[in-house]
Amino acid sequence: MGPLKGLVGILLVANVFGREIIQNERAVEAFSDDTHEAVSSNDRDEKFLSVFQIVKFKNDACPASDGNMGVCFTEAECSAKGGVASGNCASAFGVCCVFTVSACGGTVTQNNTYIQSPNYPAPAPVGMCMYTMNKCDSDICQFRLEFEDVMVSDPAMGDCTNDTIMFSGFDSNSMKVVPMVLCGSLSGQHMVVNVKDATEGSKIVFNIASAASMAKWRVKVIQLSCSDPDLLAPPGCLTYDKSESGTIQSYNYQGGSGELINNQKFSHCIKYQDGFCDVALTSMAFDLGAGGDAGDSLTFGSNVQTGSMFGSGGSLNWNFTGPYVATVCSDDMNSAMNLGYSIGYLLLPC
């Protein structure tokens, strides 16, 4: 029995020893690129150090297993920061950490954080609910607010007189173009704001006047780094589309059943793509009220579109003259409850 016990002991040690070698080899293979610290042969062999003592990974965005977006952290970091682990990342050495802020008065401190109403998706309570959005590090230049599911009461003749959504604390070049107030449905739309110079937290405030509106909201806050200019919108662009084709819409379009909100003046922007020049525009809906009224208009280059007729037969060729910037204006009255617009675009090869 003595020799048999000795043999079993040797095999067990060899098994554990082998697993440690495999674990270290996996770490070296998973992190053997320019974004991670180099690990020498001596380092990984000497005393079989824990992989988390010898490897580091970037805290990049990651797709969570629950369908949300998160940030890659170690499991301990995720828990300490108040997130919820949902799937793995960094070759299973990290977890995809999802952050959600629901309670009124809450603060966003991480990238890809979801702001959602208390008890979401059930109706939000009546009253004011304010959230603070802090930069996750000093190198953040912009917030991209993606309105995944935002519904409050509709405007009345273009005015947000009941439920309201208001913003503050962005850089001055964004505060000049951010609508004073929004309402209705913003689901599927977005807003890009500059925060490079912001030192205090930015604010988003929901004010719910009545439970009858069945208000609810879910907004993803994406933080964009100054060191990644390819993702940044040009200053003053309130919406920024980066695909070769897409759609620009008025806020509260609601799939064609919404209403243009008053007192707006901002720009929709499309990212320039190499090899493309003109843009083909097609109207799915266009209703800005009386023709010839520049107070309610949508301008592409030198083409100022007003009224209820868009281009020629609903189509317009936007000649390339520089950056793709389309400016929208609405005045202080929409007594006719005009719809707004939904315009499809397609970049054309030069």
Residue 53 is predicted with a pLDDT of: 53
Question: How many whole angstroms separate alpha carbon 50 and alpha carbon 85?
Answer: 21
Cα diameter, the chain = 101
Residue type, 222: I
How confident is the prediction along the chain (350 residues), in pLDDT tens digits per residue?
Answer: 444 444 334 333 334 333 343 344 444 444 444 444 444 555 555 555 555 455 578 888 999 999 999 999 999 999 999 999 999 999 898 999 999 999 999 999 999 999 999 999 999 999 999 999 999 999 999 999 999 999 999 999 999 999 999 999 999 999 999 999 999 999 999 999 999 999 899 999 999 999 999 999 999 999 999 999 999 999 889 999 999 999 999 999 999 999 999 999 999 999 999 999 999 999 999 999 888 888 999 999 999 999 999 999 999 999 999 999 999 999 999 999 999 999 999 999 99
Give the separation between CA 315 and CA 144, rounded to whole angstroms: 30
What distance in Å separates the CA atoms of residue 27 and residue 22, rounded to the nearest whole number? Answer: 9
d(CA 161, CA 285): 25
Q: How many CA atoms lie within 13 A of 322 on its CB side?
A: 5
- The pTM score is 0.83
Say what the pLDDT of residue 120 is: 97
Of 186, 179, 343, give the one whose Cα is nearest residue 265.
Answer: 179
- The closest alpha carbon to 329, from 240, 238, 195, belongs to 238
Rounded Cα distance between 222 and 155, Å, is 27
Nearest to 253 by CA among 349, 163, 150, 350: 150
Is residue 251 within 8 Å of residue 280, measured between CB atoms? no
Q: Which residue has the tokens 């970037």?
A: 58
Tokens of residue 144, six digits: 């991209």
pLDDT of the residue at 55: 58
Q: Which residues contact 218 (CB under 8 A, 6 or more apart)?
A: 114, 115, 116, 117, 120, 121, 148, 149, 150
Length of the chain: 350
The answer to whether 84 and 98 are in contact (CB under 8 A) is: yes
pLDDT at position 5 is: 43
Cross-strand pairs, 342: 249, 285
User: Left (φ > 0), alpha (ψ -120 to 50) or beta: where does 67 sit?
Assistant: left
Question: What is the Cα–Cα distance from 168 to 238, expressed in whole angstroms?
Answer: 14
Residue 239: other Cβ atoms inside 10 A: 20
- The span from the CA of 38 to the CA of 33, in Å, is 8
Query: Distance between CA 270 and CA 341 in Å, rounded?
Result: 17
- Check residue 57 and give its pLDDT: 82
Which one-letter amino acid corresponds to residue 278? D
pLDDT reported for residue 9: 42
AA letter at 12: L
Contact of 87 with 63, CB cutoff 8 Å: yes
Helix (H) or strand (E) holding 168: strand 164-168
How far apart CA 89 and CA 95 sit, in angstroms, is 5
Q: Return d(Cα 85, Cα 123) in angstroms, integer.
A: 27
